[in-house]
Structure 1
Amino acid sequence: MLNVPGSEPSSPICSAKGCRADAVWVLAWNNPKLHTPERRKTWLACEEHREHLSQFLGVRGFLKDVVKLTEWQAPEGSESQGDES
């Protein structure tokens, strides 16, 4: 898959910095200091980066759920986020 800067990818890609693999997982999270309890932000993960991104969010107490992309239904008020920050 070729990603041209400024264009939309043909399928969702992993949120790990520098990764351009197809996403397989949705990591739902929120920062309780910034977000209401029901709000969910999302990162997408390929198989290779699922564990790393989950640990990154988990040690901060942000990770709420990990779901297969094909099974994900975004709750109202959720936001998707691109690269790992």
Structure 2
Amino acid sequence: MYIYPYNLKSKAVLWLWQLRDIGVIGVGALVSVLAVTQAGFLPPIVVTAAYAFLTIRFEDTSILDFLRYACAFFIGRQQLYEWRMAHE
């Protein structure tokens, strides 16, 4: 079921994922199935399943977005505020 965005500025969503995430999950699933059937290599299917879980959208946010924002705040781009008295 295709859900049309309410405000025409949000990204298109199919079921619980954005369309870009559906594409990534589809390609990842294809590579994972090939890896499991041809080489018996299991990690790609685990990574694909984890990505599919982390990108589930609920009210225009996902767990992966939250983790990105948290890493940016705590690790990457911390902001430094200097409080000074205004000279009159």
TM-score tier by shorter-chain length is: under 0.3
Q: TM-score, normalised by structure 2?
A: 0.23
Whose helix fraction is larger, Structure 1's or Structure 2's?
2
Whose strand fraction is larger, Structure 1's or Structure 2's?
1
Larger relative CO (CA 8 A, sep 6+): 1 or 2?
1
Q: TM-score, normalised by structure 1?
A: 0.23
Which of structures 1 and 2 has the bigger CA Rg? 2
